[in-house]
Chains A and B, each alone.
Chain A
Amino acid sequence: MSARPLTPTAALRDAALSTLVAFGLFCALIGLKLTPTDAGMKLTDRPAALAIILGAVFVGRLLMLGWRAWRPAGTPSPRLLAEGVTRAGRYVGPVFLLLALTLPLYSGRYVIDVGILVLTYVMLGWGLNIVVGLAGLLDLGYVAFYAVGAYSYALISTTFHVGFWTALPVAGLLAACWGVMLGFPVLRLRGDYLAIVTLAFGEIIRVVLINWTNFTGGPNGVSDIPRPTLFGLKFTGSGDPDTFAAFFHVPYSVTQRFVFLYYVILGLALLTNWVSLRLRRLPLGRAWEALREDEIACRALGINVTITKLTAFAMGALFGGFAGAFFATRQGFVSPESFTFIESALVLSIVVLGGLGSQLGVALAALVMIGGTELFRDFAEYRMLIFGVALVVMMVLRPRGLVSGRTPSIALGARKQIAAELVAQGRG
């Protein structure tokens, strides 16, 4: 953005106009408040709140204009800054990995718990990245596979009394099957048609979970889901010989379970990452990326587009299912409320915000979005509002995501980053 000459009068006029628009926006919804009473609706006015907002808009707009016009030369634009991040990715990745591995050593229970949450979304993001980032298929219903994984584990473990590690692969495979089942009918669909059908699929799953009461427990969900064990050792304070504390002769603490869960999800996330990175360098992953770039050319080269799309859906669903099973075991309880569209939107935002196809970017985006939202825990009421604003702002500033660009999967010489502008986003 080039700095335009800006006179103070023009700036004031601009800010006044913005304030006028803001007045239009906020006069009714902030200036007046509806309260239901027995005798119908009652309106109260809130001139102070309105005035504060309008003042904030006026000052904010002035500051923004000022920053644009008189930004000191040499200040890196957000773009350059992000390019720096992209370049530094090589070092940032390992540093983050090291931090993630050692986090429980110097953190309390709360931070570990947030870490578990962030890592769950990192894993979901990496899983969805296969579908959206690599294969270029827009999936707005990813939460469906998360739900299938969670409910599969919940129902299998409570019905057949099998442990987490036995049920985990089953839950993942079931989710993958659902991925294929969803994939089949929608393969012919393009772009936004695919998006709405996947969204619809997510909603269907949720509605079924709510209403099929005698199978899923309906709105009450499934509770008393067994916790994971470490080679059969439980994380309880009962003092039995098959508990972690008793076996290792350490005093019992609840934190042990959190630390264990933390490493479980870290392991699962790293598995997702490893498989995605590995696949990218193999024909299957390369075919996914080729599909994103040009489906017609793929067909002309003899690539079975149907199978390729289905494997992408299945892979994404598999990891979504794993994450779901983990979610169920962490909570000890699942209910349909956890699997709303907003979850799909959240994971998709993480993928797009991170930079499609970039593993590091997705991890950073999950950290920023989930961790950041956690910071506003005290403002519970405003948390989602801030989240939404942040989403819009970040998208406008970085439409290509935090870490854009693509690393070639194979090279004769040195691998050179490919500019994001050349990389397609897929039409599927």
Chain B
Amino acid sequence: MAYALQQLINGVTLGMIYGLIAVGYTMVYGIIGMINFAHGDVFMVGAFLTLIGLTLLGGFGITSVPIALALAFIAAAAIAAVYGWTIERVAYRPLRGSFRLAPLISAIGMSIVLQNFVQVSQGARDLNLQPLIPGSIRLMNQGGFAVELSWMQVLISVVTLAILAVFTWLVTRTPLGRAMRACEQDLKMASLLGIDTDKTISLTFVIGAALATVAGLLFLLYYGSINFFIGFSAGIKAFTAAVLGGIGSLPGAVLGGLAIGLIESFWSGYASVPYKNVAAFSVLAIVLIFLPSGLLGRADVEKV
């Protein structure tokens, strides 16, 4: 019981991070119908930028953790947003309205570029950050097994939920959100109705990159260690989460992220750690067999 609770806590934390990345996948997919393969790598870039920011601030003698985190995050998110914008502008926009596979390959290319760019510029070694937010609450103690909820995990959940709340407000209540939803329904029609679709799409990438940076920051704080390759596995997992939840659906992305996080943590806790990815992918395959559009996806009814 206590053990299960601990796995639940760990799984939710992990799921929140996946969910944040998955939102970026699902947003782009919803609007231009492409898998932005490079998104996982934007997450990785976000994590690197945050670490650089934190180190830089440390060098300037800023020791207050909240201030350092806030400043580093703002700088990192701004730069990551430039990455998001540039990637769309350079690699995807010329291919808009082109054949389905061209943007996919371009995205894979972009992913390779980002990974190797960071490897070349920052080295291939693991980079570490000492824990900034130590401490935890002991929830219960059962037969010598203590269930711990670390402040870090609390922070991850609170930040994720807050970000998602802001984001939901943005999508449902603001003109930008309306434009995004209009583009999602029908890009051509939206542009005929006077929506600047190019700008909307660019902003989608910018927001997606900022969300990925949040995830990168949380990942960095939680695991304390990053390298140029973290974007790949986290990206694949987040993409799986987005598909599991029903790609194009924002609540689906978060739900899918939580599902993948929980599967991984419970599988690691009760079965075997090496096979946790197999478990996550198998669940995905099984869910898709019964719900071909994912958990919350709109059923893709083909008009005959």
**Cβ–Cβ contact A28 & B236, under 8 A:** no
Which of A74-82, A166-174, A232-240, A347-355 forms contacts with chain B? A347-355
**Cβ–Cβ contact B55 & A43, under 8 A:** yes
Query: Shortest Cβ distance from A424 into chain B, in angstroms?
Result: 9
Do A296 and B302 form a contact, CB below 8 Å, given A41-B55, A391-B105, A425-B99? yes
18 chain-A/chain-B pairs, Cβ below 8 angstroms: A25-B82, A28-B48, A34-B122, A186-B285, A191-B100, A192-B243, A203-B281, A204-B282, A207-B275, A207-B277, A211-B272, A382-B116, A385-B112, A395-B103, A396-B94, A399-B98, A400-B99, A427-B100
Residues of B within 8 A of A42 (CB): 55
Q: Does B68 contact A (CB under 8 A)?
A: no
**Cβ–Cβ contact B292 & A188, under 8 A:** yes
Given A28-B79, A341-B236, A356-B101, 18 more pairs with CB closer than 8 A:
A24-B82, A25-B79, A28-B52, A40-B130, A41-B51, A41-B127, A192-B35, A193-B243, A197-B284, A201-B281, A210-B274, A348-B105, A353-B105, A381-B120, A388-B113, A392-B90, A392-B110, A395-B91
CA distance A41 to B126 in the complex (A): 11
Hey, what's the 0/1 contact readout for B37-59 against A, CB within 8 Å counting as 1?
Answer: 00000000100110111011011
**Residues of chain A in range 11-33 having any CB-CB distance to chain B below 8 Å:** 21, 24-25, 27-30, 32-33
Residues of A within 8 A of B282 (CB): 200, 204
Q: Does A3 contact B (CB under 8 A)?
A: no
**Residues of chain A in range 174-210 having any CB-CB distance to chain B below 8 Å:** 185-186, 188-193, 195-197, 199-201, 203-204, 207-208, 210
A39: nearest chain-B partner, CB-CB: B130
Q: Does B289 contact A (CB under 8 A)?
A: yes
**Cβ–Cβ contact A30 & B121, under 8 A:** yes
A43: nearest chain-B partner, CB-CB: B55
Q: Does A35 contact B (CB under 8 A)?
A: yes
**Cβ–Cβ contact B125 & A36, under 8 A:** yes
**Cβ–Cβ contact B130 & A25, under 8 A:** no
Do A349 and B109 form a contact, CB below 8 Å, given A21-B86, A196-B243, A204-B281? yes
Q: Does A342 contact B (CB under 8 A)?
A: yes
Do A211 and B274 form a contact, CB below 8 Å, given A27-B79, A349-B108? yes
Query: Shortest Cβ distance from B199 into chain A, in angstroms?
Result: 16
Query: Shortest Cβ distance from B32 into chain A, in angstroms?
Result: 12
Do A388 and B109 form a contact, CB below 8 Å, given A29-B122, A36-B125, A193-B288? yes
CA distance A388 to B79 in the complex (A): 21
**Residues of chain B in range 114-169 having any CB-CB distance to chain A below 8 Å:** 114-123, 125-130
Q: At the interface, is chain B mostly helix, strand, loop or mixed?
A: helix
**Cβ–Cβ contact B110 & A388, under 8 A:** yes
Residues of B within 8 A of A348 (CB): 101, 105, 108
A138: nearest chain-B partner, CB-CB: B101
Residue in contact with B112 in the complex, picked from A30, A186, A384, A395, CB distance below 8 Å: A384
CA distance A225 to B118 in the complex (A): 37
Residues of A within 8 A of B288 (CB): 186, 189, 193, 197
**Cβ–Cβ contact A34 & B51, under 8 A:** yes
CA distance A287 to B52 in the complex (A): 55
**Cβ–Cβ contact A392 & B91, under 8 A:** yes
**Residues of chain B in range 256-298 having any CB-CB distance to chain A below 8 Å:** 272, 274-275, 277-278, 281-282, 284-285, 288-289, 292-294
Q: Does B247 contact A (CB under 8 A)?
A: yes
Q: Does B219 contact A (CB under 8 A)?
A: no
**Cβ–Cβ contact B281 & A43, under 8 A:** no
Chain A residues near B (Cβ < 8 Å): 21, 24-25, 27-30, 32-36, 40-43, 132, 138, 185-186, 188-193, 195-197, 199-201, 203-204, 207-208, 210-211, 296, 341-342, 345, 348-349, 352-353, 356, 381-382, 384-385, 387-392, 395-396, 399-400, 425, 427
Residues of B within 8 A of A208 (CB): 278
Q: Does B304 contact A (CB under 8 A)?
A: yes
**Cβ–Cβ contact B112 & A43, under 8 A:** no
Residues of B within 8 A of A381 (CB): 119-120
**Cβ–Cβ contact A400 & B240, under 8 A:** no
A297: nearest chain-B partner, CB-CB: B304
In this complex, the interface size class of chain B, counting residues with CB under 8 Å from chain A, is 35 or more
Residues of B within 8 A of A427 (CB): 100
Query: Shortest Cβ distance from A358 into chain B, in angstroms?
Result: 13
Residues of A within 8 A of B29 (CB): 192
Q: Does B95 contact A (CB under 8 A)?
A: yes
**Cβ–Cβ contact B300 & A203, under 8 A:** no
Do A400 and B102 form a contact, CB below 8 Å, given A41-B55, A189-B288, A203-B236? yes
CA distance A189 to B59 in the complex (A): 52
Q: Does B18 contact A (CB under 8 A)?
A: no
Do A341 and B232 form a contact, CB below 8 Å, given A185-B289, A197-B288? yes
Residue in contact with A388 in the complex, picked from B55, B111, B304, CB distance below 8 Å: B111
Query: Shortest Cβ distance from B273 into chain A, in angstroms?
Result: 10
Query: Shortest Cβ distance from A263 into chain B, in angstroms?
Result: 32
Q: Does B83 contact A (CB under 8 A)?
A: yes
**Cβ–Cβ contact A29 & B110, under 8 A:** no
**Cβ–Cβ contact B105 & A29, under 8 A:** no
Residues of A within 8 A of B284 (CB): 196-197, 200
**Cβ–Cβ contact B122 & A391, under 8 A:** no
Query: Shortest Cβ distance from B176 into chain A, in angstroms?
Result: 21
Q: Does B239 contact A (CB under 8 A)?
A: yes
CA distance A289 to B72 in the complex (A): 53
B276: nearest chain-A partner, CB-CB: A207
Query: Shortest Cβ distance from B268 into chain A, in angstroms?
Result: 13
Residues of B within 8 A of A188 (CB): 289, 292
Residues of B within 8 A of A189 (CB): 288, 292
Query: Shortest Cβ distance from A18 into chain B, in angstroms?
Result: 10
Do A43 and B109 form a contact, CB below 8 Å, given A29-B122, A296-B304? no
Interface centre among B99, B127, B232, B275 (most CB of A within 10 A): B99
**Cβ–Cβ contact A204 & B109, under 8 A:** no
Query: Shortest Cβ distance from B253 into chain A, in angstroms?
Result: 13
Residues of B within 8 A of A28 (CB): 48-49, 52-53, 75, 79
CA distance A32 to B48 in the complex (A): 11
Hey, what's the 0/1 contact readout for B215-253 against A, CB within 8 Å counting as 1?
Answer: 000000000000000001000100110010001000000
A24: nearest chain-B partner, CB-CB: B82
